[in-house]
Amino acid sequence: MARPSPLEIYALLDKSNCKECGYDTCMAFATDILERKVKIKDCPHLMQDPKQAKKRDKLIEVITPPQKPVIIGTGDRAVTVGGEEVLMRHQLTFYNQTAIFIEIADDDADLEEIVKYLTDLKIERIGDVLTLDGIALRNVSGDADQFKLAAKKITEISNLPIILCSFNAEVLLAAAEAIKENKPLLYAITIDSWERIGKFAIENNLPVAIVSSNLDELLSLSATLQKFGVKEIVLDSGTYFGPGNLSVTYDNIMQLRTVAINKEDLNACWPVMGVPAAYWSQVKIGNDKELWEHQYQELIMGAIMESIDTNLIVLHTGQKKEEIWALLALMTLRQSVFSDPRIYPAVDPGLYIIGEPEDMAPIFVTSNYRMTKIPVEQDLKGANLNCWLLVVDSEGIGIESAVAGGQFNAGSIAEAVKEFGAFDKVKHRILILPGMAARLSGALEDEADAFVIVGPRDSSGIPKFMDSQWKPEEFMKEYESWSKE
């Protein structure tokens, strides 16, 4: 099924341009509903007018992606997994990033401390705040009361979504009954437990995860549960370590995604999950390797899964503060994989103050490509410099490419100097140009009537550059001598 156009969406609205949704026109609303910036419920007419019921149902059908979304949890931290339209990011974009859950044993003595740490964990990177998506509670104790107690404890101290993990249906449902209002994911349904767990999921509107290494059996269970009435399903075809097994894991996930998105198989049209944490139960942990080497193998699997848009992964490594390196690796990879290829990641151009600059403080020039501006700003702050950062509109393109393409040029820099009053802030006319834009220095001196010095190619070299090459008095004498000629 081809992706609907804004006109097709518009045809299913009432075309009243009532503005009750916050948009001036129904066409504007139609465009943004296609981009998932608004939801059908944001249109009062569709939701409240009985005459619009058929159009509303048709609209839901039209905009539902081939891989259906599943929501785990409630409130602000609820996470949506799946809901993708394309197999590869460059074909359009991925809308919902891989959800990262950390497993915890129900009998862990440090459960409360771990949960609080994972809930509050925030990593700021390149303008984004990176967080975890949920907790996977494993029934290690084998005791139903202990499992239920641990589940309730988590909901009392955290608003993170929860996956309840047990292959014992009785134990699983006891805990699910205790926290069902928090909408946990029930993990897992097998060929032996589908009816009992499925019935509970239907009665309480809960999502379920189906587990089977046999793809035919997995999709057969999916078909059965859908006919039974289950509304939200996650598929797990298994995560396998050891010689040759990585390719099996990879192939199974890609097969499920391909038949869902490209072939629109209704039995496969659900989010896919993987469990890199399975490493610790499948591989013998001996003294032949350091702990980090084992953790690294788990993370390699997690990275592979993120790179192919596996919708949810469960990790073991990351529970402890000293394991932050592992989460940082996967979170930063996820940040890159799930950026929108249709949009240049730009920041607002302008003159940014760093520290407490004085009259002879340096003025650094950079582009408004987000992945350039923010690292440069962080390096300046990290060096404890008091300076100015002039961010020039390069259409959100990095310096090297923007210089080659003409978006970052002497004229645009000079215009930014004038527009943002860069030289009004200091008692000099010196600009520090990025090393990658060195060839612009001569033209920029003429365009901006300034003395231009070429800085390092990488902002990490700025401290050394400042120590050895920043000589504003000498630069100004030279500027004054040639400006009089």
Burial of 242 (0-12, 13-18, 19+ CB in 10 A): exposed
Dist CA 269 CA 70 (whole Å): 11
Dist CA 253 CA 235 (whole Å): 9
CATH node for 6-63: 1.10.15.40
Domain boundaries, the chain: 6-63, 69-337, 350-483
Burial of 306 (0-12, 13-18, 19+ CB in 10 A): buried
**The tokens 């949704």 sit on which residue?**
21
Burial of 451 (0-12, 13-18, 19+ CB in 10 A): buried
Phi/psi of residue 208, each to 5°? -130, 155
What's the pLDDT tens digit per position in 352-363?
A: 999 999 999 999
| pLDDT, position 332 | 95
| pLDDT, position 345 | 85
| pLDDT, position 127 | 79
Residue 483 has pLDDT above 80, yes or no: no
Contacts of 475 (CB under 8 A, 6+ apart): 428, 430, 451, 453
Q: Does domain 69-337 have CATH number 3.20.20.20?
A: yes
| pLDDT, position 481 | 86
| pLDDT, position 342 | 84
Residue 2 has pLDDT above 90, yes or no: no
Q: Give percent above pLDDT 90 in the chain.
A: 87
For the record, the structure tokens of 254 come out as 């890609």
Helix (H) or strand (E) holding 252: helix 245-261
What's the pLDDT tens digit per position in 218-229?
A: 999 999 999 999
Q: Give how far the C-alpha of residue 215 lies from the chain's centroid of Cα atoms, to the nearest Å.
A: 28
The lowest-confidence range among 62-71, 285-294, 391-400, 407-416 is: 285-294
Any alpha helices (H) in 39-186, and if so which ranges? 44-48, 53-63, 111-120, 144-157, 169-179
Dist CA 459 CA 362 (whole Å): 14
Mean pLDDT, the chain, rounded, equals: 95
Which DSSP symbol is given to 4? P
Dist CA 345 CA 335 (whole Å): 12
The secondary structure of 358-406 as a DSSP string is: -TT--EEEEESBHHHHHHHHHHHHHTT--EEEEEE--TT--HHHHHHHT
Contacts of 200 (CB under 8 A, 6+ apart): 173, 176, 177, 186, 206
Residue 177 has pLDDT above 80, yes or no: yes
Phi/psi of residue 72, each to 5°? -115, 130
Residue 444 has pLDDT above 90, yes or no: yes
Buried b (16+ CB within 10 A) or exposed e, 49-82: eeebeebbeebeeebebbbbbbbbbeeebbbbbb
Neighbouring C-beta atoms of residue 176, cutoff 10 Å = 26
What's the pLDDT tens digit per position in 308-339?
A: 999 999 999 999 999 999 999 999 999 999 98
Residue 1 has pLDDT above 70, yes or no: no
Residue 485 has pLDDT above 70, yes or no: no
Residues 61-85 have a mean pLDDT of 96
Dist CA 320 CA 124 (whole Å): 19
| pLDDT, position 284 | 87
What's the pLDDT tens digit per position in 402-423?
A: 999 999 999 999 999 999 999 9
What's the pLDDT tens digit per position in 287-303?
A: 888 999 999 999 999 99
Multiple choice CATH, 350-483, 3.40.50.300, 3.40.30.10, 3.40.50.2300, 3.40.50.11600:
3.40.50.11600
Q: Which amino acid is at 378?
A: Q
